[in-house]
Structure 1
Amino acid sequence: MWKFQVAAVSMIVLAGCTPSGETPPPIPAVPEAAEVTATPVKLMTWEDLTSRPPREASTRIRWGEGATDIADLWLPEGAGPFPVVVLVHGGCWQKSIADLTLMNWMADGLRNKGWAVWNIEYRGVDEPGGGYPGTFLDVGAAIDALGLHADQFKLDLSRVTGLGHSAGGHLILWAAARSRLPDDSPVRVTDPLAFRGVVVSGGLADLEASRPVTAPGCLDAVYDTLTGPATAERPDPLADTSPARLFPIGVPFVSVNGADDRIAPPMLGEGLTVRALAKGDQASLIVVPDTGHVELVTPGTEAFEAQAQALAGFVGGRPNEQD
């Protein structure tokens, strides 16, 4: 049995908390809690992950004209139709820190469990046109481009889930919440792709709460570029950039945090979960002991298995099984 410290888990379903007015599916069950040992552990480093044998996507798809208008598609064995996981990488919203290839091992691990994986790229705040609104427009467009390729690759758009790591946790939850964006927001679209559920993996989804907690060079240094300036027409830059301001979003989500994560400590996942529950959303928190930031995107770890189980729960069981 997997060992987890589970907090703030809710199975509450509230009517009317989806955009369509339908009752959302139950939040995935999580493993039973177990005591956490005090034995010191060595946390993984990024080199521990990136020194693994490389993994290759099935195909790269260019959805736009920009240099970062790309997504890597990882297809499992079989005839399909395949459920889909949208992956969004982190890197403190900065391309100088990470790009979509950092998620290659995660994508391969999920592909081996029967998922089609849509691993997207976007402009970082340190690239021309990145920040607000460019980064958000890129993420939304890359996700919506999935629909253009569903028939060709036998992708099941009725079983789309999402997982974002670190800064990507912010972006994936924001993408799932796009139907709640203000009508006059430059990043609003009329018919965004719908998610069955989302995993926020070591995420910084509440920008206001995350800013003083994570490393200054990660969020604080890029905060104004990421959220955009306050203006008379847009007095609150968080109103269309921070998912925590958009609750209830009507999409179930699970926050998964490493107990020893110094980039996104569990308090951020707990705060996000409590805030979502208070607004009537379905949300839960899994805190994985002896786990830092890197383990969350590393196949073979307890954190990876917990997240794979949560994703499967959103589609009703094993990903290669029909509802």
Structure 2
Amino acid sequence: MRRWLLLLWCLAALDVLALEPGKIMSAADLAGFPQPAPTARIAYGNQALQFGDLRIPDGPGPHPLAIFIHGGCWLSAYDISHSAKLTQALADSGIAVWSVEYRRVGDPGGGWPGSFRDVGKAADHLRELATQYPLALDRVVAIGHSAGAHFALWLAVRDQIPPEHALAAPEPLPIAAVLGLAPAADLGFLHQQQVCGQVIDGLIGGSPDRYPERYRWADPARFALPGLMQVMVIGAHDRAWAPVGERYLAVAQARNDQVRRVDAPESGHFEMIDPDSSTWPLIRDWVHQLVSVGGGQLPAADKQSDE
């Protein structure tokens, strides 16, 4: 069933992308990705989809740590499985990875507020995991692909949510930096443009006009993030999603966030999550740069990386 759904997504996207056939990956390619076993699959809650895959590099540690959140339009049809290839490659490069599964739109308990609570709970569960595994919690980078980039950014703003709010947590895990891969992060814009159909209605429960307070605390585009290092990777051939990422970049730059645009010249929407693609070294190197600087400043612009 998942393979069939991915194929439908691919065929629909091709009408929009109009890319050269055979050169740019499609969603159908994800179905053939290998799924290497993690170090451990660990529950962070009692529901079936409340789990994460932890991947630990070789060596004694403590290891720099990335939280990875997969994309798929926030929909139940697209799960964690297609991200195993990428997260294992990150672990092989020396980064511990906590790859989060969560209830999505269409899953029982998914949408508002369950999807948000799941992602937040998964991140905070790392404090417990750090008592059992050699993880460096002082330099956590959140990575998200497509819709997952929304949640990666949202993890970094949870400390601004009022304590009485439905999405609040007592002590959110601090996030040092966010790496957004083909980011879909401005929920108001996504709702307006009907990106992925009406999925934002399913995620939030309705429109911004109906639920302005929900959007206020669920949408990273509505937060000021001056102290957060943000790197947003835009694929040169990702014609359907690049404008979505550019929209978030414009918002972040207008409020003087510490945000960097990085162009991936040979990437569509999916190359950046494929370690066998020519885009992989760019992604790997940025993850390593971000974990190395912790909560400091973005590295100086590098001509090779940013063009």
TM-score (norm 1): 0.79
- Report how far residue 206 of structure 1 moved: 0.7
2:235–2:263 Cα contact (<8 Å) kept: yes
**1:231/1:196 Cα in 2 relative to 1: closer, same or farther (>3 Å)?**
closer
Is 2:286 the partner of 1:310? yes
AA at the equivalent of 1:79: P
Q: Which moved more, 1:41-50 or 1:226-235?
A: 226-235
Aligned residue number for residue 273 of structure 1: 249
- Report how far residue 262 of structure 1 moved: 3.7
Q: Which moved more, 1:225-234 or 1:190-199?
A: 225-234
Cα displacement string for residues 201-229 of structure 1 (whole angstroms, at most 9, x for unaligned residues): 111101122335574xx2x3122221234
Aligned residue number for residue 300 of structure 1: 276
Aligned counterparts of 1:222 and 1:295: Cα–Cα separation in 2: 24
Cα displacement string for residues 25-72 of structure 1 (whole angstroms, at most 9, x for unaligned residues): xxxxxxxxxxxxxx9871012343442443111111111111111011
- Report how far residue 316 of structure 1 moved: 2.3
Is 2:89 the partner of 1:109? yes
Matched positions, count: 276
Aligned residue number for residue 283 of structure 1: 259
Cα displacement string for residues 92-119 of structure 1 (whole angstroms, at most 9, x for unaligned residues): 11111x1111110110110111011100
Partner secondary structure for residue 292 of structure 2? coil
**What is the percentage of aligned positions where both structures have the same residue?**
35
Cα displacement string for residues 150-203 of structure 1 (whole angstroms, at most 9, x for unaligned residues): 021110101211110111011111111111224442101131111111111111
AA at the equivalent of 1:56: A
- Report how far residue 285 of structure 1 moved: 0.8
Where does structure 1 lack aligned partners over 5 or more consecutive residues? 1-38, 319-323
Partner secondary structure for residue 131 of structure 2? helix
- Report how far residue 310 of structure 1 moved: 1.7
1:252–1:283 Cα contact (<8 Å) kept: yes
**1:144/1:91 Cα in 2 relative to 1: closer, same or farther (>3 Å)?**
same
Trace 1:123-162 onto structure 2 (pairs within 5 A): 123-162=103-142
Is 2:165 the partner of 1:189? no
Partner secondary structure for residue 287 of structure 1? strand
Is 2:180 the partner of 1:200? yes
Q: Normalized per residue, which structure has more helix?
A: 2
Aligned counterparts of 2:86 and 2:103: Cα–Cα separation in 1: 21
Q: Which moved more, 1:226-235 or 1:205-214?
A: 226-235
Aligned counterparts of 2:138 and 2:86: Cα–Cα separation in 1: 22
Question: Would you identify which runs of 4 or more consecutive aligned residues in structure 1 move more than 6 Å?
Answer: 230-233
| CA-based RMSD | 2.5
Cα displacement string for residues 269-317 of structure 1 (whole angstroms, at most 9, x for unaligned residues): 2332232122232001112123111101100324322222222112227
Aligned residue number for residue 55 of structure 1: 36
**1:317/1:175 Cα in 2 relative to 1: closer, same or farther (>3 Å)?**
closer
Aligned counterparts of 1:135 and 1:263: Cα–Cα separation in 2: 25
Aligned counterparts of 1:287 and 1:67: Cα–Cα separation in 2: 37
